[in-house]
Structure 1
């Protein structure tokens, strides 16, 4: 095993060869067009649509703005049913858009919103479902689609973790009325900061385009908008990274399988894709038997320079500005989960080191 002196964090940003990025920067300098839907932004959008297998995609400034634009473009009001187990942006943006989040507990196996609990929470004020593909593992999109059609609800999927994921060969972003992605520097594919909104509807796509650009094209104003655009410099990073995503996912898969092999005798639960899922190995969550065990292992790892993350914590219904109904499954999982270090530049020796520390702590 190599000498491991550096801290091992839960994620690490992949940076492409500097000369490749600089070549794009020179082009930007020569053209003098740095933002406002420039050539590289349009090129990245076209390549992302092809890679992800979707008809419409708007590249935006970050994944949170992507959620905001999706809710706005679908013209949602009233109550939005949402998961209690996700990153805080998922629920906060519902409030931000003057809607009311209604928290639904999660399925204990998938950790995604439990479709069996959705219908009982629908009333005359409910307009949409906002669900998260947790750690990139898909929601029960078939059941959610059936419920939404029955009750005339819109569906938005927070797919921040689901870049490149397919279910039974179908790209996961083809489901729902809109899907959002984060291209933050910690993600499987990143543009330093960035995100996207995906839809299958050309009218909704046009609303998103206008809404991210202050609501106007040229001098003609069509709707209320914000500044959700992204720059040529961010698009350049995406154009450097996109050709390397498939290789990065394969690397993540290899490291995840090594973790499972090394931790096979440890009393933790891990998530594993089945044969219907083309997964991207975005994270490696480990669910411990109880809170005390999780904390003991976390502290022991940190003492060895390993920094996992309690991702997600806390349950969103427990945040002081939400005051949601109890969601016992989500509240339980948040007390027991740690995401272990996983990224495409992680070394096998580092996975072995992390695993050996965990084994020793047990």
Structure 2
């Protein structure tokens, strides 16, 4: 291998010159955490950009999911997707609840409302659905299931920053949504996330829960956590936010080049057509079918030998991991569509400044595998 490695993603960074005024404010004020002025500004700017009213910034999305479950007092069963990053199910366990896995829609790879409803028992209290790759779930179908059965509907919207559905912000769906600002995401603050609440009262409760349950100097009303974001991370977010439209446009251009080159190859299905209104081009997943010359894993290995680090998102399934594989919902034959996706999906490198020459290397191998 003579070329520099190409990773599945690479974070955009704001120019240091744009970070310095924020750093000077931090050094001048010596306010480093505890809902400082930069955090308050970041929350307000984010809410305005996303088109939501009640947003709470947290130190990471995983703890945001835990808080959402804790707020609603969920300790029973939570129906969720096996085709996701492990943080989804881990958050359910850390909140003291039990994940139950349902199968996915074969086209979107998001939870199928019919399979969700089939998994409901008297112990079911919530649905935690994932907008996989930023592709919107069947929000209407899931909302109907939740409503009929008296369940809370929480969205793991880690991939869905800025995504809109029918012109409205996707993160406003459900009883609560949680976004990730991890360094690998479309928008990042190095680490971080946000919880979208449906009303002011819920936001106040979340803000208290994320600060140990403290009400005032002498009052602690509940068992809370410390999930606050620091002023330094808020500063990164404030420097990144004015660039986000430019970043998404650049991601769209990379995704469009893939689509133009790969979408007609027999046996290779591109899941996310570019140019969809409101999408964010978080990833470029391709599905390797039987008509493709080699298997998904063989293509993955071939790319790695050339220094191209595509990722098998999501393999193995969460339901195959040892802490979950013994659950009744993971029994053989229960999750056929998720299992097929786990065996066939490969996410190709995608980031705003992916050089055309590097992308051409990737396209060349995927188009003509050995």
TM-score (norm 2): 0.94
SS in 2 for 1:278: coil
Structure-2 change in CA distance of 1:150 and 1:122 (3 Å): same
Q: Secondary structure at the match of 1:229?
A: coil
Distance in 2 between residues matched to 1:89 and 1:299, nearest whole Å = 26
Distance 2:350 2:37 in 1: 33
- Indicate whether 1:102 and 2:100 are aligned: yes
Residue 278 of structure 2 is matched in structure 1 by: 278
**Does residue 229 of structure 1 match 2:231?**
no
For structure 2, which runs of at least 5 residues remain unmatched after alignment?
none
State the alpha-carbon separation in 1 of the partners of residues 271 and 178 from structure 2. Answer: 23
What displacement does 1:5 show? 2.7
Aligned residue number for residue 288 of structure 1: 288
Q: Residue 25 of structure 2 corresponds to which residue in structure 1?
A: 27
Structure 1: stretches of 5+ with no match in the other structure: none
Query: What's the counterpart of residue 298 of structure 1?
Result: 300
* Kept in 1: contact 2:252–2:274 (CA 8 A): no
Is 1:136–2:134 an aligned residue pair?
yes
Structure 1 Cα separation of the partners of residues 204 and 137 of structure 2: 27
Q: Offset at 1:248?
A: 0.7
Q: CA deviation at 1:202?
A: 2.2
| SS at structure 2 position matched to 1:361 | coil
Shift of 1:92: 1.1
- Partner residue of 1:316? 318
CA contact (8 A) 2:70 2:95 kept: yes
- CA deviation string 1:173-200 (max 9, x = no partner): 1100000011001110000010111111
Q: CA offsets per residue over residues 87-110 of structure 1, 9 Å max, x none?
A: 101011111111111100001111
Shift of 1:348: 2.0
- 1:250 matched residue in structure 2: 249
Q: Quick one: distance in 1 between partners of 2:363 and 2:275?
A: 26
Q: TM-score, normalised by structure 1?
A: 0.96
- Give the distance between the partners of 2:25 and 2:253, measured in 1 at CA: 36
Q: Does the aligned pair in 2 maintain the 1:269–1:288 contact within 8 Å?
A: yes
How many Å separate the matches in 2 of 1:264 and 1:280?
19
Deviations 1:53-76 (A, max 9, x none): 111111111010110111111211
Give the SS at the match of 2:368: helix
Separation in 2, partners of 1:359, 1:154:
44
**1:250 Cα deviation after fit:** 0.8
CA shift, 1:275, in A, is 8.3
Shift of the 24–275 alpha-carbon distance from structure 1 to 2, 3 Å rule, reads closer
- Whether the aligned pair in 2 keeps the contact of 1:262 and 1:352 (CA below 8 Å) is no
Structure 1 counterpart SS, 2:223: coil
Taking the aligned partners of 2:9 and 2:275, their CA distance within structure 1 comes to 26
Of the three residues 62, 67, 73, the one matched with 1:64 is: 62
- Structure 1, 160-169 or 194-203: larger mean CA deviation: 194-203
Q: Matched residues in 2 for 1:277 and 1:96: separation?
A: 36
Structure 1 Cα separation of the partners of residues 287 and 258 of structure 2: 14
Note the 1:1-40 alignment, pairs <5 A.
5-40=3-38
Instruction: Tell me, yes or no, if structure 1 residue 337 matches structure 2 residue 345.
Output: yes
The structure 1 residue matched to 2:180, chosen from 179, 182, 197, is 182
Residue 356 of structure 1: aligned partner: 364
The structural deviation recorded for 1:23 is 1.8
- Decide whether the 8 Å contact of 1:273 with 1:279 is kept in 2: no
